[in-house]
Amino acid sequence: MKLTRNNTSFTVSGFKKTYPYQYKNYTRNDNDGPRTYNVEDKKVPSVTTILSATQSSEKRRTLENWRNRVGHEEAARITTQAATRGTEMHFVLEQYMNGVGYLNLGEDGSLPRMMAHTIINNLQNLSEVYGTEINLAYEDRWAGSTDLVCNYNGMPTIGDFKQSNKPKREEWIEDYYYQIAAYSLAHKHQYGEIEQGAIFVCTKNLLFQEFIMDKNMLLEYEERWLEKVDKYHKNANF
């Protein structure tokens, strides 16, 4: 990894880290019911909280059927293992995007590190990184943390890193699209324009997938996300 710095930016292996926005930090609450963020002295529901609360009955049944099929203990083991792997992969990616350490990302043989390395090797169209693990909020309606705000394919982009046990089909990742839409709307409201969403997936077999939300798709999911938010707050107020 080649790293060069000046006072306002640094460049890592072909992409530049710049600072066009002064991003805020919000405290996340995980221990008192559904996840919230403290935003301007208010507890604001997280994106994942809203997605969970507005989940369709069909999706709930599908998840419960899977748990019954593999057994609840095995389902918990698989879920915990995937979450741990995802956390470690995200940490390596965040360090890389910030130009910190991990000069030889794949050398120790750990699976999360090799998965991160696989994603990095497929980010040739990444030209600028504006921030990683960015807290975003839309007033008191929702809040969350996006993995990446960047310039990708020449456009300001919300990026999300995902790990998976097996390759994803587009019909399986609707919640990923909603997450991107929520972060896009919040970023537009607080900071600046977003024109694209990008979801970068690596499986445990080191298969890379990229799902792009163009501007029209992004606008469509932003509208659908706002409907979910309205539904959530309407039910929460009863």
pLDDT in tens, 8-61: 454 555 689 999 999 999 999 988 789 999 999 999 999 999 999 998 767 777
66 in a structural domain: no
Contacts of 122 (CB under 8 A, 6+ apart): 200, 208, 210
Residues belonging to the chain: 238
154 in a structural domain: yes
231 in a structural domain: yes
Count of the separate structural domains present in the chain = 1
- pLDDT level of residue 231 (50, 70, 90 thresholds): very high
- pLDDT level of residue 157 (50, 70, 90 thresholds): very high
165 in a structural domain: yes
Counting beta carbons within 10 angstroms of the beta carbon of residue 30, is it exposed (0 to 12), middle (13 to 18) or buried (19 or more)? exposed
77 in a structural domain: no
Q: Write the CATH number for 45.
A: 3.90.320
132 in a structural domain: yes
Cα dihedral 70, 73, 77, 80, rounded to 10, equals 110
Rounded to two decimals, what is the model's pTM?
Answer: 0.88
220 in a structural domain: yes
Alpha helix ranges (H) inside 98-207: 111-120, 174-190
Coil, strand, or helix at residue 130? strand
Note the pLDDT of residue 12. Answer: 54
76 in a structural domain: no
- pLDDT level of residue 3 (50, 70, 90 thresholds): very low
Tell me which residue range forms the domain holding 91.
3-57+83-236
